[in-house]
Amino acid sequence: MEPENQTEVSEFFLLGLSEKPEHQPLLFGMFLSTYLVTVFGNLLIILAIITDSRLHTPMYFFLFNLSLVDIFLSSTTVPKMLVNILTQSRAISFTGCLTQMYAFHLFGTMDSFLLAVMAVDRFTAIVHPLRYSTLMSPRVCGLLLGAPWVITNLQSLIHTCLMARLTFCAGSEISHFFCDLMPLLKLSCSDTHTNELVILTLGILMGLSPLFCILLSYTCIFRAVHGIPSSQGKWKAFSTCGSHLTVVSLFYGTIFAVYLQPTSPTSSQKDKAAALMCGVVIPMLNPFIYSLRNKDMKAALRKLIGKVASYRS
């Protein structure tokens, strides 16, 4: 039974990455720069794909959506963190906290599903090149994009509804730079067994199903490429997968560190570092990875920048 003098918490306080005042200007400058690079870089990718008709293909359609999701993912946490540092206020309302949690898991999980869809696209292009335009028709691309949006929204809704039914009266300080599932559960004085079970179940399903799809796609790709007689043909086939494989390695190297590592007294700082990589650093790196390793994208970006320069002059 709860003591009578306990009161339900209506707002939380995000402790952030550091509570030391001397670190705040450095953190503000670092995250402002990172956020601006993320938004600007991904917007360039989006505009290049829109304005260049040569990039109106399924591969770049999915890259367009990945860049859009990366902007949303970074915008879920960084602006609030910058406002908190600037105003020296760490408060976030209960509703705002649940909204941030919903958005982070929506866009974070959508990132992984988009990577899986892009792997399927590469599998179709390399293993079934003659049937590619038929297999990856606009209707199929719409289904491959629409289904993950439904699934990820449903997952985030389940987490949010289960969290909303809890009572928080064990404190209001969240040892994180945004509202996440496990730090919030630690503050609840309700029974969190159902929440923990759902987090584990959905974490495994949402984490492993896209990864399994990616691994299966690349297994088939490697087998198909192995059968190509010329080394030049093999290199040409693999060259279209290099950027995607780089992003997959970065993404899954951090996402599992956040949600699938065992709880320990020292796991809080590891969770912050991994969430920082997943939600802030990787969305910033994606435009560089895809633009620097892709000739068509580099050409489209040069064309876009040339148009902007000529318009301004």
Which CATH number characterizes residue 78's domain?
Answer: 1.20.1070.10
pLDDT confidence of residue 1: 39
Q: What is the largest distance, in Å, between two alpha-carbon atoms of the chain?
A: 77
Residue 6 domain flag: no
Helices (DSSP H) in the chain: which residue ranges? Answer: 24-51, 58-87, 94-127, 132-135, 138-164, 181-185, 193-226, 231-239, 242-259, 267-276, 282-292, 295-312
Residue 62 domain flag: yes
Residue 122 domain flag: yes
pLDDT confidence of residue 2: 43
Residue 79 domain flag: yes
Q: How far is CA 259 from the centre of its chain?
A: 13
Which letter does DSSP use for residue 89 in this model?
-
Residue 1 domain flag: no
pTM equals 0.88
What would the two tokens of residue 32 be? 């402002």
Residue 64 domain flag: yes
Alpha-carbon torsion (84, 257, 175, 105), positive or negative? positive
Alpha-carbon torsion (98, 80, 147, 239), positive or negative? negative
Ranges of the chain with pLDDT below 50: 1-6
Residue 8 domain flag: no
Residue 5 domain flag: no
Residue type, 200: L
From CA 14, how far away is CA 19, in angstroms rounded? 10
What is the span of the domain harbouring residue 277? 13-311
Which residues are paired to 93 by β-bridges?
11
The values of phi and psi at residue 110, to 5°, are -65, -35
For residue 151, CA distances in Å to 195, 245, 256 come to 18, 24, 19
Q: Which of 300, 260, 256, 255 is nearest to 281 (CA)?
A: 255
The values of phi and psi at residue 194, to 5°, are -65, -45
Which residues are paired to 203 by β-bridges?
none
Number of independent structural domains in the chain: 1
pLDDT confidence of residue 155: 96
Contact 169, 7 (CB under 8 A): yes
pLDDT confidence of residue 251: 80
Residues 6+ apart with CB under 8 A from 108: 73, 255, 278, 279
